Amino acid sequence: MVEKKQEIKALAAEERFLTGENFYSQHFLGAHKLTNGNFVFRVWAPNAQQVWLVGDFNDWEDTIPLVKRESGIWEVKTAKPHEGDLYKFKIRQANGREIFKIDPFAIRFEKRPGSAAVLHTLQEKKWKDGLWQGRKKRTNYFKRPLNIYEVHASSWKHHEDNTPYTFSDLTKELIPYVKEMGYTHIEFMPLMEHPLGKSWGYQLVGYFALSSYYGTPEEFQDFVEACHKENIGVLVDWVPGHFCINEDTLPYYDGTPTFEYEDLDRARNIRWGSINFDLGKPQVQSFLISSALFWLEFYHLDGIRVDAVSNMLYRDYDEGPWTPNHEGGNRNFEGYYFLQKLNAVVKLAHPEVLMIAEESSSDTKITGMIESGALGFDYKWNMGWMNDVLRFYEMDPIYRRHNFNLLTFSFMYMMSENYILPLSHDEVVHGKKSLMHKMWGDRYKQFSQLRNLYTYMITHPGKKLLFMGSEWGQFLEWKYDHGLEWVDLNDDMNHSMQHFTKTLNELYRTEKALWELEGSYDTIEIIDADNNEETILSFIRRGKTKKDFIIVVLNLTPVERKDFVVGVPYKGTYKEILNTEMKEFGGTWVKSNDVKESIAVPFKDYPYQIQTIVPALGALLIKPAEVNTRGRSSSKSKKAKAEN
């Protein structure tokens, strides 16, 4: 009777997997311990001629054959292997070739360069992060600060013998550091199993397995729990678009296109030397959505950043030949509908989870309601802002006045999506230089501009992301196989830069004007974005109340501006709350600007103005001290009344 119920349950799971509706397919496929202590192994290989279970328990010989079910899923129940044994599947493919393949649903792998799965039973954890989970469900994350510290887990810090930290080590050191620095979330580059460290985790083989390079699943669970106890969220990058080309992994699993497209041009990914998933295939949808939910639920993650979304949306995104769709265009409809389905499933189960897209085009609405035609993501990386702004800050200030639009163009589209402003790992590798090294001028000017850049990022509408090491201005490019240059902090300039970043992060968290009305144009007023000659940008960020606003002034030239005019909305006094050129941050100023009294002289759209000193390559943040908010009228409205 028990066996019959188990078989009925298996048939239901099998059917849902085949139709793309089994979002917990890892509970059916892969390796599972039975109540009698034996194990059942199942693998999807519909066109294989035969499949065997092999491992160190049978000297890797084909002595344990699997039986093919009608669905194309192969199955065997056996007492032979034990917990901790290594295993693979030996597959006689459709053309008769025999090859060893990994278990696509394995939850543990041996340490690279080995690629065998480890027979491992995951235990149910008794989580102690209930306060965090409850608060997260009650919080509107669109109207809260989101400041992400991006981390590559194995190169944040190394031991003295140059071995990387595991998650047990990171629990002791990374969490206190992130809390001290004032970030709200940690985002890890992919943690799933991958055979080549040089890929940074973006060419996966194990979609359900934490890389053994980083420790055990239980250690990562403990890390996430410890983060939540310190009010730090955890996000992880995930790669559902393409996978590793190594032939003992997923490619052409049964000798025919299984996980990949049948069309060779659509299957191969020339740009990254990988293979694209066939996102229209129901079984692949079951596989990938199951992977996403597994990571979110088993590890209590607070969100997922989906990598390389453009590659899933457009047939012509890659290099090489491409075939138009049935409408004659470049839209990859399979990818488009898969991403909508992914977000719909995740949000139905976990509405509080953050779904983030790394996407570089503007042809598709990425964030927003699926019913409106959008993909349903919560946030999109603003790659355009990142590219334009970094080009601007690399530029000799002589030319900046002719390219001021690079700094200001994002104001034209900043509300078209829900954006995260990323200064990510992609910008500090492959000869692009570190963020600090990109800045124009000598070392002092480079640090001045780095402080200016971070101030612009923190005050510009959108959530924030900064790659590790950038917070103190590491000069060397990031190296995936080395720890960060922590020795830099022995230098006064780097130490002061780290202190500045911490101060800026704290200001971001405490000043509601920087995030309370985000997503609405009410959050920002442009004071002057046309000052090309002096190359100074000024704008206001607003909170819900009239008196809650911050004036931002950015000087993008190495010329100090005395008696600089800034338009203000109300009569009263204004105080400086941040000056990036203070000595404590690495600058030369020992005293802030005095409190400024408004002058009843209009400036652009504002009825009043203040005059202040703006330091060379510096940024100022100014708040109202005592102002009268009644009866504000702009200079334009006064002029209109006078003409009438």
Q: Which residues are catalytic?
A: 307, 358
DSSP SS3 for 328: coil
**Residues 6 or more apart whose Cβ sits within 8 Å of residue 186:** 148, 149, 151, 174, 178, 227, 232, 233, 234, 235
Dig out the tokens for 212 from the structure: 């053994």
**Residues 6 or more apart whose Cβ sits within 8 Å of residue 452:** 393, 554, 555, 556, 580, 617, 618, 619
Residue from 545, 513, 551, 546 nearest 629 by CA:
546
Which residues are registered as beta bridge partners of 626? 573
Dig out the tokens for 38 from the structure: 């034996």
CB 427 within 8 A of CB 467: yes
Dig out the tokens for 63 from the structure: 């002595």
Whether the ω angle into residue 397 lies within 30 degrees of 0, i.e. cis, is no
Amino acid at 273: G
Residue from 373, 357, 361, 469 nearest 420 by CA:
357
Distance (Å, whole) CA 120 – CA 217:
10
Distance (Å, whole) CA 377 – CA 420:
12
Distance (Å, whole) CA 170 – CA 230:
14
CB atoms within 10 A of CB 622: 25
- Helix or strand run (H / E) with residue 500: helix 492-510
Residue 573 sits at the vertex; the CA angle it makes with 567 and 579, to the nearest 5 degrees, is: 75
Distance (Å, whole) CA 172 – CA 175:
7
Cα 401 off chain centre by: 33
Beta strands in 533-637 (DSSP E): 536-542, 549-555, 561-568, 571-579, 596-597, 608-614, 619-628
Distance (Å, whole) CA 481 – CA 598:
55
Three-state SS annotation for 46-92 = CCCCEEEEEECCCCCCCCEECEECCCCEEEEEECCCCCCCEEEEEEE
Distance (Å, whole) CA 638 – CA 636:
5
Dig out the tokens for 418 from the structure: 């829900």
DSSP SS3 for 158: strand
